[in-house]
């Protein structure tokens, strides 16, 4: 992969109504369990940690099930079942799509979240973070900053 192919020069400007990054005083422990669970999974993938990703995916699946979010739970289980990072990252795209759908119907969960899109990712290309700087879960350590900020919507 070529770093220049990321598309950073063609960044989309965030929409005027896009939520700003989370205030520094908001601590992870204060975030809803669903947000914490997704963030943990995203962060493990960005760190190239397959074992940690699987553990985080299983925890997210349980949290989503308890919250009545079956599609998100099933998508997270696919990450947990992935044999390698590439498959886990592809499955994570479906987790992100389901998560953004949940956020769309539960706007109270959106506070302080930021969405990004990686043009080089296979499958669904968006993801959500609780703050910046960007840490791309689809490319991991090889290209942590590949992507651009986009609207927080599915």
Position 129 in a domain: yes
Position 78 in a domain: yes
Report the candidate in 88, 26, 95 with the shortest Cα–Cα distance to residue 60. Answer: 95
46-67: average pLDDT: 97
Report the candidate in 150, 129, 127, 112 with the shortest Cα–Cα distance to residue 24. Answer: 112
Measured CA distances, 138 to 6, 53, 91 (Å) = 12, 12, 10
Q: Predicted confidence band at 131 (pLDDT cuts at 50, 70, 90)?
A: confident
Higher pLDDT, 140 or 26: 140
Position 10 in a domain: no
The tally of domains found in the chain comes to: 1
Which pLDDT belongs to residue 6? 64
- pTM score of the predicted model: 0.82
99-104: average pLDDT: 96
Query: Considering the chain, what is the average pLDDT of its residues?
Result: 86
* Residue 56, domain extent: 29-150
Q: Predicted confidence band at 51 (pLDDT cuts at 50, 70, 90)?
A: very high
């Amino acid at each position: 992969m070529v770093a220049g192919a990321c598309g950073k020069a063609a960044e989309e400007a965030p929409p005027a109504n896009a939520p700003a990054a989370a205030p520094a005083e908001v601590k992870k422990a204060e975030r809803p369990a669903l947000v914490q669970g997704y963030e943990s999974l995203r962060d493990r993938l960005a760190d190239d940690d397959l074992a940690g990703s699987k553990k985080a995916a299983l925890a997210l699946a349980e949290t989503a099930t308890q919250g009545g979010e079956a599609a998100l739970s099933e998508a997270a289980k696919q990450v947990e079942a992935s044999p390698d990072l590439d498959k886990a990252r592809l499955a994570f795209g479906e987790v992100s799509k389901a998560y953004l759908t949940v956020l769309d119907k539960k706007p109270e969960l959106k506070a302080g979240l930021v969405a990004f899109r990686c043009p080089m990712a296979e499958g669904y290309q968006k993801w959500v973070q609780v703050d910046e700087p960007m840490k791309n879960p689809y490319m991991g350590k090889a290209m942590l900053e590949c992507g651009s900020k986009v609207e927080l919507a599915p």
